[in-house]
Structure 1
Amino acid sequence: MSIFAWCLMVMGLGALTWFVVWLVRRERYLKSLRERGWTFVGSPVFAAVARLSNPPFGIGFTRSPDDQIIGATSQGRPFQVIEYRHEHWGGWVGMVTLSRRLPELWITGGQTQPRYGVMATMVPVPAQLGAGWTVGVQEPAFATDVLTAQVCEQLYAMASGQPGLNLSIDGDQLVVLDPPRKDAELLAPWLEQLAAIAAAIDAAPLDRWVQPEHEARLTFYQHPDWYWIGEDDLLLQTTPVTRSGHGHSTSEVIRGRDGDGPPFVAFTHHWKTTRTETSTDSEGRTTTRTVTEHHSEAMLGFQLPVRMPWLQVGRRGLSSGISFESEDFNRQFGIFAQDKKFAYDVIHPRQMEFLMANPPSSFQIVDDWVWFNPGEHSHPLVAHNSRFLRAFLAGIPRFVWRNLGLPDSPYPQA
């Protein structure tokens, strides 16, 4: 037997041994979960996280729940421990159920870094917790009401056993990162401590903060009216996607709206182009091959309540378009329109100031839709353009809306 063959055999035996050891340990681990009455799910469905919308949930377009442990604590409080990933984070999360849906709250102890994507107001930390803690909320008064002496006592007790506690409230779930999920003997008391914090929160006078129930579907952080669809190739028939090429498809489709702003659809459009390349070698022989290239573009459109004349707003290029009274504006923007009067009515002096202070992605109004060219399909860009367009539409004078057939502006000034 050659040395190479011998090495291959040794490596194969080593891999087999490692696999057997892993399999035995995994079966022991699963047995320890079953003995506690818990259930292990190797491939959980998205329903496991559909009610959750605060980071690490509710972020990004690629979301992946994996191994899951579900059960109840000694006092009957439901829990789940789940592995979860998105584009910017991956790890394990543990949570127990609260008796009410509450606003978001963020508490960290030790040297813990804030979670990716969190937008919160930092508020003073109760004296019972002491130094080394941070508290973030959207409503400061909520932090005052929820952080009772009993809650702080339970938080301090849990942090003494888990340096770097990273805890949040997400609807009716009390969520903590990095549970000790590898060992059921450690996970069980950890869950009991988390349940004790949940019980203290349930005992606090928080009824005025109860949030409405939401439909169980994949949503987005701080955008409760956005929802995930995934694929919808019917959009290819009704939206201004690139028509050339073949193999057209959609991915990462989301729909929604922000407050009283216009509803939107956002997605990535994929297609292919194929070409034939011919080459001749040094001996004069000709060969032909087919080359297929893959393309994609980000699509973002907002539906208006009425049809409008065509109007395009973008950065100035080789052609400056319509000239306005502001030379600064003319140097920065290229405006093109089907109806010049409509353009002058919409792009008035205050609107020009707004555009220069908030330069948007290029966009155009086509009938009853506004289509942006965002450059990429991302959660922050959709949110940014949604805020921008709501303010831009609010700046259109009331008489313009009336001329279009509406009784008044559908987007009053904030």
Structure 2
Amino acid sequence: MDEAAIAVLIVILLGAAGITWGIVALVRRQQYIKSLRDRGWIFVNSPAFDAVERLGNPPFGLGFRRRPDDQIAGLTSLGRPFQVIEYSSEHWSGWVGMVTLSRRLPELWITGGETQPRYGVEAVMVPSQLGPGWQVGALDPAFAAAVLTPQVCEQLNVMAAGGPGVNLSIDGDQLVMLDPPRKEVELLAYWLEVLATVAAVIDDTPLDHWIQPVKPWGMTFYHHPDWQWIGVDDSLLQTTPVTQSGHDHSTSEVIRGRDGDGPPFVAFTHHWKTTRTETYTDSEGRSQTRTVVENHSEPILGFQLPIRMPWLQVANRGRGITFESEAFNKQFSVTAQDPKFAYDVIHPRQMEYLMANPPAPFRIVDDWAWFSTGVHNQPAIAHSSHFLRGFLSRIPRFAWRNLGLPDTPYPPQDRTPVPDHGE
């Protein structure tokens, strides 16, 4: 048998092996699904987003591309609703299991054993009554102390004894845990019963003081309750500083919102195409032309200001206005339509703030502040929103009055008042 025939035979054998393995995997999956349904549980191959819509704490509530996949749902032996679901976003992918609590409660994070705190969690670490190797995080330490009764701690230690680690959280009316043992149905059933026991003890704990309101329906963002997912809004192409060249312009991942009393923002990705003709030489040495279409995208992030302002730009480096701080001049380049306005706004405390909290380059144009973040994601929006609120609060009152406002629209958030250099 020559080498060509051997190669063909190998390809045929590999193809046959692949088909066989695919059939085996399909049969095993069907057997697994049947074993779930034999217990009275529901299996959904491609659940809708509303399967996780009510969840807002990590791994949920983060990212723009969130996708639930295989879902198992049902009731525990005592009738407590549960679901085990595969979930992915830009920041995390894996399986999550949860049972329903009787009340909506504040977020709480408990980790122990061979596990790590979840990405994106913003919480205060509090003393743990669970012993060495455990970490507990909460926004309200008093709530954490109220939840972790001796009975709850006992059940958590039982759960930890059955696996390599515990990564547990409270997300509204759901008690959520990462990495459920979903491959073995019997083990999963036992695991759900243990999780339901923890939930029952929490339900019996007097926690009504901390009951939370119902979360608005829809895609929400962790710790940003006033952000709203829009998705697509091509009307923004007419009102924002997008690249004008090219064709087939469109928007995606549009978000509107604000943080607290900060300025409202709009953020999205702008897509467009360009077409060019290039010359090349074919295999016979003849000159030919072809049309090349290239795809482009850029992030757009703008905050609406309460009044029109003179043009002002703060960049990382370059030639600009000279300020009294040499360290500031080395780190930033400020250019402005009105140098006096720049000096009024970029005073010594403002320079300290900028150096301590370096922002993405931004420019003020009329009544908008546009940031060049380089990326369109949740952390970039949140960082710019937080920075700009602090920046605006440090603009002296006389500067706002010169613009036509009676006083600063953004009072200082710290205890030290912003110096009013014009008074």
Residue 152 of structure 1 is matched in structure 2 by: 153
Q: Check 1:282–1:86 CA distance in 2 against 1; reply closer, same or farther (3 A cut).
A: closer
**Counterpart position of 1:185:** 186
Q: What amino acid maps onto 1:76 in structure 2?
A: G
Q: Distance in 2 between matches of 1:356 and 1:255?
A: 28
Residue pairs, 1:45-84, within 5 angstroms: 45-84=48-87
CA shift digits 1:210-266 (9 cap, x unpaired): 222221222222222223333322221211011111222222222221111111122
Tell me how far 1:44 sits from its aligned partner.
1.1
Summarize the Cα distance change of 1:327–1:158 in structure 2 as closer, same or farther, 3 Å threshold. closer
1:16 to 7, 15, 19: 19
Matched position secondary structure for 1:220:
coil
Amino acid at match of 2:404: G
Give the Cα separation in 2 of the matches to 1:27 and 1:362: 54
Paired positions, count = 410
Distance 1:109 1:315, change over 3 A: closer
Displacement of 1:144 in angstroms is 0.6
**1:51-130 matched pairs, under 5 angstroms:** 51-126=54-129, 129-130=130-131
Q: Which residue of 2 aligns with 1:168?
A: 169
Return the alpha-carbon distance in structure 2 between the equivalents of residues 281 and 54 of structure 1. 57
The alignment partner of 1:216 has SS state of coil
1:354 equivalent in structure 2? 353
In the other structure, the counterpart of 1:301 is 302
- One-letter identity of the residue aligned with 2:22: F
Say yes or no: does 1:143 pair with 2:148: no
Cα 1:323–1:35 change in 2 (3 A) is same
1:285 to 1:400, Cα distance in 2 relative to 1, 3 A: same
- Aligned CA distance change for structure 1 residues 207 and 11 (closer, same or farther; 3 Å): same
Q: What's 2:378 paired with? A: 379
TM-score (ref. length: structure 2)? 0.90
Whole-Å separation in 2 of the counterparts to 1:96 and 1:157: 17
Q: Give the deviation of 1:379 after TM superposition.
A: 2.0
Shift of the alpha carbon at 1:283? 8.2
Q: State the Cα distance separating 1:162 from its structure 2 match.
A: 2.1
Mind listing any 5+ residue stretches in structure 1 that lack a counterpart? none
Q: SS at 2:409's partner residue?
A: coil
Deviation at 1:309, TM superposition (A): 2.3
Alignment of 1:256-267 (within 5 A): 256-267=257-268
Change (3 A) 1:282 1:175: closer
Displacement of 1:8 after TM fit?
4.3
Q: Does 1:396 align with 2:395?
A: yes
Could you report, residue by residue, the CA deviation over 1:152-198 in whole angstroms, capped at 9, with x for unpaired residues?
Answer: 11111222212211111111111001111123222122111111111
Letter paired with 1:411: Y
Q: Does the Cα contact within 8 Å between 1:111 and 1:132 map onto a contact in 2?
A: no
Q: Residue 42 and residue 311 in structure 1: after superposition, are their counterparts in 2 closer, same or farther (change >3 A)?
A: same
**Residues 1:26 and 2:29 aligned together:** yes
Q: 2:291 is matched with which residue? A: 290
Contact preservation (8 Å) 1:82, 1:93? yes
Runs of 4+ in structure 1 displaced over 6 angstroms?
A: 281-284
Provide the C-alpha distance between the structure 2 equivalents of 1:303 and 1:410, rounded to a whole number of angstroms: 13
2:218 matched residue in structure 1: 217
Structure 2 residue matching 1:234: 3-state secondary structure: helix
Gaps of 5+ in 2: 414-423
Q: Which amino acid is 1:366 matched to?
A: V
Q: Does the CA contact (< 8 Å) of 1:56 and 1:115 recur in 2?
A: yes
Report the alpha carbon displacement of residue 280 of structure 1 after superposing the two structures with TM.
5.2
Give the aligned partner of residue 40 of structure 1.
Answer: 43
What is the Cα-based RMSD across aligned positions, in Å?
A: 2.2
Shift in alpha-carbon separation, 1:401–1:7, aligned structure 2, 3 A: same
Counterpart position of 2:421: none
Q: Secondary structure at the match of 1:165?
A: strand
Corresponding residue SS for 2:165: coil
TM-score with structure 1 setting the length? 0.92
Deviation of the 1:6 alpha carbon: 4.2
Q: In structure 2, what is the Cα distance between the partners aligned to 1:350 and 1:132?
A: 43
Change (3 A) 1:332 1:108: closer
**C-alpha distance in structure 2 between counterparts of 1:30 and 1:111, whole Å:** 30
Amino acid at match of 2:89: H
Output the CA distance in 1 between the equivalents of 2:317 and 2:400.
Answer: 27
CA contact (8 A) 1:50 1:217 kept: yes
The amino acid across from 2:210 in the alignment is W
Q: What is the SS of the residue equivalent to 2:121?
A: coil
Residues 282, 195 of structure 1: alpha-carbon distance in 2 compared, 3 angstrom cutoff? closer
Question: Alpha-carbon deviation of 1:327?
Answer: 4.2
Q: Which residue is equivalent to 1:330? A: 329
Letter in 2 for 1:216: W
CA deviation vs aligned residue, 1:83-133 (integer Å, no higher than 9, x gap): 01122321100001112221211111212122222232222221xx33222
- 1:232 is aligned to 233
Q: Which moved more, 1:55-64 or 1:363-372?
A: 55-64
User: For 2:85 and 2:382, how far apart are their aligned partners in 1?
Assistant: 28
Query: Could you tell me how far apart the structure 1 residues matched to 2:7 and 2:189 are?
Result: 49
Amino acid at match of 2:390: A
Deviations 1:379-412 (A, max 9, x none): 2221111111000000112233233333322211
Please identify, of 237-246 and 11-20, the stretch whose mean Cα deviation from structure 2 is larger.
11-20
Amino acid at match of 1:198: A
Provide the C-alpha distance between the structure 2 equivalents of 1:74 and 1:407, rounded to a whole number of angstroms.
Answer: 64
